[in-house]
Amino acid sequence: MANGSRIIAGLRDMIAHSRGDASAGRVVVVNVPKTVDVRHIRHRLGMTQGEFALCFGFAIGTVRNWEQGRRYPDGSDRVLLTLIERAPEFVQKTLTAA
């Protein structure tokens, strides 16, 4: 199936799903962790707070606040931190190429 045809089919499925047709399309549910141990991830990578922040695009103050418990990563930050924990080289390569 050509890319254009797949896009059109996907849009038709989306419209059908929005109208209540549960057989059209598919829904994928992701499980975002409720907590992430930022200090543990950073230590495992052998980085300072500054290096970690710079390498992955966080403000250093944000990393400090997370590690000191003054703030907690929101949903999208927890997703990125989970990716960093599981595949740091992939995340670094992806961010460097962007």
pLDDT score at 1:
54
Cα dihedral 62, 65, 67, 70 in deg (nearest 10): -150
Domain map (residue ranges) of the chain: 1-28, 38-97
pLDDT score at 18:
83
* pLDDT tens digit at each of 98 positions of the chain: 577 888 888 888 888 888 888 776 667 788 999 999 999 999 999 999 999 999 999 999 999 999 999 999 999 999 999 999 999 999 999 999 97
- The architecture (CATH level 2) of 38-97 comes to Orthogonal Bundle (1.10)
Secondary structure class of 84 (helix, strand, coil): helix
Tokens for 30, please give them: 């992701």
pLDDT score at 13:
84
Are 71 and 59 spatial neighbours (Cβ–Cβ below 8 Å)? no
Phi, psi of 87 (to 5 degrees): -150, 65
